[in-house]
Structures are given as C-alpha cells and as structure tokens.
Structure 1
Amino acid sequence: MIRTIALLLSLTFASHAAQAQDWALDGMDPVSYSREGAAIPGRSDIVTMWRGKSWHFATEDNRTAFEANPRAFAPGLGGLCVVALSEGRSEPGNPRYFAVIGQRTYLLRSEAARRRLLADPQHVLMQAKAVWARLHP
C-alpha cells in the first residue's frame, strides 16, 4: 500500500514537472513585460504554442498580440541572462528579472544583474550580442 502511494505520488510529480518544462518563461506572460512593466503570471487556460513551448498569458488581448508577432514579445538573446553573456557565459535568465530596452525584453539572472544592465545598457548589450553571435553563428 505504501509503495503504491509512493509510486502514484512520484508519477504525479513527474507528470507535473514534465508539463512545467514545456512552459515558456515559467508561465510568465511575455506581453506583460512591455505592456505592464511587470512579470505577471499567465493563466493556465490562456495559452498558445510557439517553438515547442506553451506560452501563457494574463489576458486574451495579450495572447492575440503575441500570436500576431511572437518575436516582438519573446525575450531577446534566447532568454539568456544578458549580463552573463556580456561576461562570456551562457546562463539562463530568470523570467522574474527583466528589462525592456527599446522594443526588446531581456532576461537577467538576478536583481543585481538587472541593475548592472540598466547602469550601462548600450555597453552591456553590445558585449552580450557579440558573445551571442559567436555562440550562434
């Protein structure tokens, strides 16, 4: 009986973990970064598939905007931390830390990295884009 319960719990957790791995931005609404200036969790019932991931949205309007032009709302530089890239490292950005520069959203690994980017965005982005170009020719 205990083994059966343990097996069911592990299968449930594995199923949830597999589902969460397919969620882009850990379920954050990509449109909210630029429209609201905030990382807002998307709803599980307002979803679209793009590039093999489930993108979640806080509103139908946000989903519609994303579907019209997903590249405009997907984070730049593959969602990697811009500051880490500028230092020559490839580290994933955290969807809760971001900066919108121009028309593009960039993810960062921490609040400290966000402050560093915002202190000199042109320099950091120039370096990050150079590293990105070498990693993704």
Structure 2
Amino acid sequence: MSPFIFRRTFFASAMLASLIVGGLMPTSALAYDEASTAAINVDAKNVALKGFDPVAYFTVHSPTLGNAAYSANHNGVTYHFSSQENLAKFNANPAYYAPQFGGFCAMGVALDKKFDGDPEAWKIVEGKLYLNVTKQVQKKWLEDLPGNINKAYQEWPAIKDKAPKTL
C-alpha cells in the first residue's frame, strides 16, 4: 500500500470513528442495502429520496414528501413529487433535480464511503442538491464545503458502483 493511500484510508477511518464516537452519526447510518452496488440510493420499493420530492428543494426550499400518484422513472429508479407541476419540471430536466451522488451522503462520499442520505439534511450548492446522513454530519461537511464537494467528486467514480459494506 502506498503511503498516500494509507494516509487517506487512515484519515477517512479516523474521521468516521470520531463522528460515530462523538454521536454525530449512528452506526446504522449506512445505505438501505449494504450489499447493493447501485449508484442510486433507494428504498425497498426502488424509490429514491425516501419518497421526497426533488423539485421541491428548488421551488419551495424545503423537504416535501412526494405522492406516488405523481411519479417518474429516471435512471431505473422512481421519484415521487408533490404535484403534477413538479413532476413536469423534473421530466423536463431530471439531471438538474436529481440529488448528487445518487442521494448518498456527500460527506461520506468525500471519505470514500456510501452512507444513507437523509432528505432532511440537505443543501443546494451552485444549483445542485446534496444530502448528508444527519444534520450533525452536515455541519462538519459545511465547515469546508468547497473542499468536501471537490473531494466527493474525485471519489465518486471509484465508489459509485461498489457496495457500502465493501468500502
């Protein structure tokens, strides 16, 4: 193992351990299915964002539970919307509204991990929706927002198709 990989792995492990020990992240805060290699975080019914409306984050600036009556399929998963209008907006540009990193925790991705995303721990940055595993973890993520986003985009291609339990 190269010294760089060792330092990066050690840093990620130390950071996650401190978050768990400090009570900021529950030990069960992994993606729904720890064995899934899917790049999009879904529930048992293949619904993204735990059924929350991705467009509402941009329009009403609040997490809003969607309704199965207003649903769309994008990249093989289902999204729910709170209105026909939001469904139409999503269908016009799904890549704009879909959460980054498949709805997994942005801080986790920056640390080479795939943790569940909490629809209540969200932020829009430069027109992109990001989730974190908890609001407490989000506070840490916000301490170096540009650095953490940059690191997550660097790490995502290498982990997006891996199962959370292997990371």
Q: TM-score, normalised by structure 2?
A: 0.65
Write out aligned runs for 1:1-16 (5 A): none
Q: Percent identity?
A: 25
Q: What is the alpha-carbon root mean square deviation over aligned residues?
A: 1.8
Deviation at 1:21, TM superposition (A): 2.1
Listed one character per residue, the Cα deviations across residues 56-84 of structure 1 (whole Å, up to 9, x for unaligned) are 11111111100001000000122111111
In structure 2, the residue matched to 1:134 is 158
Q: Does 1:33 align with 2:57?
A: yes
- Number of matched pairs: 119
Aligned mates of 2:81, 2:94 — CA distance in 1: 12
- Which ranges of structure 1 fall in alignment gaps of 5 or more residues? 1-18
Q: Does 1:68 align with 2:68?
A: no
Aligned mates of 2:68, 2:157 — CA distance in 1: 35
- Which ranges of structure 2 fall in alignment gaps of 5 or more residues? 1-42, 162-167
Listed one character per residue, the Cα deviations across residues 8-41 of structure 1 (whole Å, up to 9, x for unaligned) are xxxxxxxxxxx85221211100101122221100
Query: Which of structures 1 and 2 has the larger relative contact order (alpha carbons within 8 angstroms, sep 6+)?
Result: 2
Aligned mates of 1:120, 1:82 — CA distance in 2: 12
8 Å contact 2:113–2:159 — kept in the other structure?
no
8 Å contact 1:20–1:26 — kept in the other structure?
no
Structure ID, larger Rg? 1
After the TM superposition, which parts of structure 1 deviate over 3 Å for at least 4 consecutive aligned residues?
Answer: none
Structure with greater helix share of residues = 1
Deviation at 1:117, TM superposition (A): 2.2
